[in-house]
Structure 1
Amino acid sequence: MEQQLEQIREQQKESWNRFSSGWKKWDDLVMDFLEPMGHEIIRKIYPQNTDVVLDIAAGTGEPGLTIASMLKGGKVVITDLSEDMLAIAREKAEERGIKNIETRACDVCELPFPDNTFDAISCRFGFMFFPDMELAAKEMVRVLKPGGKIATSVWSAPEKNFWVTAIMGTINKNMDLPAPPPGAPGMFRCAKEDLITDLFLRAGLKNISQREITGQLNAKTTDGYWNMMLDIGAPIVAALSKADDAMKEKIKKEVFEIVNQKFPDGNVIIDSSALVIYGEK
């Protein structure tokens, strides 16, 4: 099993590094889309001036950078599997004049920090992709100080996230792709009611709560939506790589049809839904 987890981790690292340029290209749009979930995470962990905060699976740096900008005397350690994503986070910190951060490329299942290091932990949309969620949660709790706070977000049900299903649903309808094994990393792996709250409970957290947070992907046009998803969506590109040109064109045509049908005025602003789960050590 360890070898399998290692293999998944290396594949993920390679994939996030490869797609980092797409994330940089669409950063403003994507960060605006994910901001409501980041705000709720920040509201729940309520960082204080001198806190030392860990932001896990931060990608291009949020919500860690926003948290760092709130602290007077504290700092944020921003982590991700992908060094190329963290390089973008450092660029953004420099542009915004944020100096109280450090970045660390590492695996959440093997956090390189001593026990009881951090006052708070944020993790926006990471759990769905962790090869071993139980181990990840235990590691987070290990490095969290007694009384420390943790908040994470995961995507909720597919039917509330058309921004994903418009493309992936069309791909699955047209292509005979092998079903992923039960519990495999994926967008809606954590959508099941109470899955993360139960995980937090088993990891030893208390005062656990869960709240649904909605957002909007302002893609503006169907073309913009399609191009963005192909630039940042590793599973989408992986699936389409198995299709010939005719099938790719058919899928694109059908995606455009269902998106245009949903937004006949051409203003493509797609609702989303996520769960923010909170706990204390």
Structure 2
Amino acid sequence: MEPQLQEIREQQKASWNKFSPGWKKWDHEILDFMRPFADEIIRSINPKESDVILDVAAGTGEPGLSIATMLSDGKVVITDLADDMLTIARENAFRKGITNVEFTACDVSELPFYDNTFDAISCRMGFMFFPDMLLAAKEMYRVLKPGGKIAAAVWSGPEKNFWVTAVGGTINRNMQLTPPPPEAPGMFRCSKSGLMTDIFKQAGFKNTTETELTGKLNCGTADVYWNLITEIAAPFVAALSNADDSMKEKIKQEVFTLVNEKFPDGNVIIDGNALVIAAEK
């Protein structure tokens, strides 16, 4: 891997480890939010009872843990770049009594598995953060058995993800941040329809499909929404850390106004839109 990509990887690893307590705190809300995307991933790879399945960039353990409950004789290998996220995944597995899982901290660009190892691969909300997406797809292709299936979820555009833009857009308006290059890792890097199917095809996959789905982030109040986002979203926290107290408060109040205008009944349930891309080797 090129030095600049290694640097991005190390920055991401440190960031995910740092924010793992927030992901643990809000795990229930996030899993509910992302359930439609996880369900579509599972439907697409159609796990069989004896399958050995790889879950890449699993974070706190999903959809890998759910898949593991569907396997009578098989297992799921759950991977993530960040050790602290995998610690939470282990705790979740223990609490749910799920034992047919293994945990491996590794980089998707250098998967520590033999060729043709897995019957299927799942990856929920990981691709847009991989330093080299094509290299990641090629590694997944390498470790997948011939005829095996892969499914990955990525966020669609900002216009369909108010849960991100309410805070992100307000920060950008107030702080005039320089936007990252379009190809840089980030939430909406994979949002263009067809981009992920093209990457999969370049990696060697066939029979690619793309499905658009909506999840609902049930926050209840603007205050809960603010706390959730600022405890899990590293880029927003990094930006706010460079603002003085008055600017932070201004941004917070503007976000509250935006959210309350969108949900005047006071029940803050925010749509999030994603693409699920599936393919076969």
Q: Which amino acid aligns with 1:194?
A: G
- Aligned partner of 1:267 in structure 2 is 267
Indicate the residue corresponding to 2:117 in structure 1.
117
Measured in 1, the distance between the counterparts of 2:221 and 2:104 equals 36
Q: For 1:31 and 1:122, how far apart are their aligned partners in 2?
A: 15
> Matches of residues 50-89 of structure 1 in structure 2 within 5 Å?
50-89=50-89
1:243 aligns with 2:240: no
Alpha-carbon offset, residue 241 of structure 1? 1.1
Structure 1 residue runs of 5 or longer lacking an equivalent are none
The C-alpha deviation readout for 1:142-166, integer Å capped at 9, x for no partner, is: 0000000000000001111000000
Using the size of structure 2 for normalisation, the TM-score is 0.99
Write the letter of the residue equivalent to 1:34. M
User: CA–CA distance in 2 between the matches of 1:141 and 1:220?
Assistant: 41
Give 1:106 shift. 0.2
Instruction: In structure 2, give the amino acid aligned to 1:139.
Output: E
Cα RMSD between the aligned structures? Answer: 0.7
1:131 aligns with 2:131: yes
CA offsets 1:30-62 (integer angstroms, 9 cap, x no match): 111011100000000000000000000000000
2:39: which partner in 1?
A: 39
Q: Distance in 2 between matches of 1:176 and 1:166?
A: 15
Task: Tell me the alpha carbon deviations over residues 217-245 of structure 1, each in whole angstroms, 9 at most, x when there is no partner.
Answer: 00111000000001101011011111111
Q: How big is the shift at 1:182?
A: 3.1
Superposition deviation, residue 193 in structure 1: 1.4
| Higher alpha-carbon deviation: 69-78 or 171-180 | 171-180
Q: Residue in 1 aligned with 2:213?
A: 213
Match in the other structure for 1:187: 187
3-state SS in 1 of match to 2:38: helix
SS at match of 2:103: strand
| 2:177 corresponds to | 177
Match of 1:224 in 2: 224
**1:179 Cα shift?**
1.9
Q: Which runs of 4+ in 1 moved over 4 A?
A: none
Partner Cα distance (1:73, 1:273) in 2:
34
In the alignment, the residues of structure 2 paired with residue 39 and residue 56 of structure 1 have an alpha-carbon distance, to the nearest angstrom, of: 16
Structure 2 gaps of 5+ residues are none
Shift of 1:181: 2.2
Give me the TM-score of the superposition, normalised by structure 1.
0.99
Give 1:178 shift: 1.9
* Offset at residue 261 of structure 1 (A): 0.3
1:96-142 CA distance string (max 9 Å, x none): 11000000000000000000000000000000000000100000000
> Partners in 2 of 1:181 and 1:156 — Cα distance?
17
| 1:204 aligned partner | 204
Amino acid across the alignment from 2:12:
Q
Cα distance in 2 between the residues matched to 1:245 and 1:274: 34
How far apart in 1 are the matches of 2:19 and 2:129? 15
What letter matches 1:52 in structure 2? V
- Give the whole-Å Cα distance in 2 for the aligned partners of 1:209 and 1:76: 24
Aligned to 1:278: 278
